[in-house]
């Protein structure tokens, strides 16, 4: 078997998320079909993690393995020919046999794009979230510091997630504003269900003055969802980067 690390971009608007589900259009299935058509083998594609319906990716990573001897530098264009226009392969790299896009991942970065105030853009309706209030950037930046580090993020995830631990480590949160658009970039060692969307909703509520730094402290200490802000829409969320140890 030849093993590959494949980096992908997709617009999640017309997908029922990453993970295969019978009878639904998913990114995983569309990409598996393209690799299978190219190689004539039944190829399985394992992502670094699921993305929900409507969530986009600028740099999803997947492990792919097959026997076909097509030269590595030809794989990208050949697979893209079999893909619909809302998914593109950006990069194909050789990987070790023990590389696994999910289990080998060390850090993930998500970006959340939101329009604050004004009238919601119809053109970009499925490429950015919307928050109808003006917000104070400094308040949000200050509050974001409380989230950095290793914490129990139970208060910042949606119920229904089956996980053995709610502890996650956030390495960095960057917040940039350009007129009506705010971009949040959150890097961590992993994320709970809806965690980024809730973190962003909480920071926006702080920026608007509806929540305070104290509410964030309470959500972290008690693990209770009620202290955090609202879950932002899926359409503003982008899986931007997945990092691995070494050059994998």
Q: Does 68 bind its own copies (CB under 8 A)?
A: no
Q: Checking DSSP bridges between strand 129-131 and strand 2-10, what pairing results, if any?
A: unpaired
Q: How many residues does the chain have?
A: 248
Return d(Cα 20, Cα 65) in angstroms, integer. 18
Q: What single string gives the DSSP state of each residue in 186-203? A: EEES---TTHHHHHHHHH
Neighbours of 53 (CB within 10 A): 15
Residue the block writes with tokens 């853009």: 121
| Range 46-65, binding its own copies (CB under 8 A) | 56, 58
Q: Does 142 bind its own copies (CB under 8 A)?
A: no
Residue the block writes with tokens 């996980």: 163
Q: Does 178 bind its own copies (CB under 8 A)?
A: no
Burial 76-85 (b: 16+ CB within 10 A, else e): bebbeeebee
Choose, from 52, 77, 86, 172, the residue flagged as catalytic.
52
Q: Does 181 bind its own copies (CB under 8 A)?
A: no
Dihedrals phi, psi of 106, to nearest 5 degrees: -105, -35
| Comparison of 81 and 158: residue with beta carbon closer to its own copies | 81
Q: Does 20 bind its own copies (CB under 8 A)?
A: no
> Of these, 16, 102, 124, 183, which contacts its own copies (CB under 8 A)?
124
Q: Does 9 bind its own copies (CB under 8 A)?
A: yes
For 70-191, list the strands marked E by DSSP.
Answer: 87-94, 105-116, 129-131, 149-152, 167-178, 181-188
* Residue 52 annotated to the active site: yes
| Comparison of 216 and 235: residue with beta carbon closer to its own copies | 235
Among 3-11, 28-36, 150-158, 215-223, the segment contacting its own copies (CB under 8 A) = 3-11
Q: Does 11 bind its own copies (CB under 8 A)?
A: yes
CB of 11 to its own copies, least distance (A): 5
Return d(Cα 82, Cα 101) in angstroms, integer. 22
| Range 85-104, binding its own copies (CB under 8 A) | 85-88, 90
Q: Which residues bind its own copies (CB under 8 A)?
A: 9-11, 56, 58, 80, 85-88, 90, 119-127
Residues catalogued as catalytic:
52
């Amino acid at each position: 078997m030849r093993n590959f690390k494949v980096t992908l971009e997709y617009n999640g608007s017309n997908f029922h998320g990453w993970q295969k589900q019978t009878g639904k259009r998913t990114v995983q299935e569309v990409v598996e079909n393209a690799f299978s058509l190219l190689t004539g083998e039944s190829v399985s594609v394992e992502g670094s993690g699921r993305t929900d319906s409507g969530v986009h990716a600028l740099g999803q990573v997947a492990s792919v393995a097959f026997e076909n001897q097509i030269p590595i530098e030809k794989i990208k264009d050949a697979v893209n020919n079999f893909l619909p226009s809302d998914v593109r392969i950006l990069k194909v790299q050789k990987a070790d046999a023990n590389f696994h896009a999910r289990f080998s991942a060390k850090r993930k970065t998500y970006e959340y794009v939101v329009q604050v105030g004004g009238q919601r853009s119809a053109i970009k309706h499925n490429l950015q979230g919307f928050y109808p209030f003006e917000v104070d950037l400094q308040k949000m930046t200050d509050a974001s510091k409380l989230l950095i580090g290793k914490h129990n993020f139970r208060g910042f995830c949606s119920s229904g997630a089956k996980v053995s631990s709610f502890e996650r480590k956030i390495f960095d949160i960057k917040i940039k504003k350009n007129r009506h658009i705010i971009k949040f970039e959150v890097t961590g060692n992993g994320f709970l269900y809806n965690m980024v969307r809730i973190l962003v909703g909480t920071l926006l509520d702080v920026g608007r003055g509806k929540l305070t730094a104290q509410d964030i402290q309470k959500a972290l200490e008690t693990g209770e969802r009620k202290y955090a802000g609202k879950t932002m829409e899926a359409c503003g969320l982008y899986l931007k980067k997945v990092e691995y140890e070494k050059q994998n």
